[in-house]
Amino acid sequence: MNKDQLKGHAEEVKGKIKEATGVILDDESLKLDGNLEKNMGKVKSGFGDLKEDLKKRI
């Protein structure tokens, strides 16, 4: 597991927590911010997965 995968997973979890907090508090801005952060974490994690696959093939 590389640092992009770790950072991506951490960002995804943080975003899920923000999104859930926004739902509980009925704060649309916090919910949207959490959703964006969660999805950016997924992208970063996917990029880390791609890097790992490339390393294994070289």
Q: How far is CA 34 from the centre of its chain?
A: 10
**What are the distances in angstroms from CA 22 to CA 12, 28, 36, 38, 54?**
15, 6, 12, 13, 38
pLDDT tens for the chain, 58 residues: list them: 899 999 999 999 999 999 999 999 999 999 999 999 999 999 999 999 999 999 999 8
Residue type, 19: E
The pLDDT of residue 29: 97
Which stretch of DSSP H or E encloses residue 56?
A: helix 28-57
The pLDDT of residue 58: 87
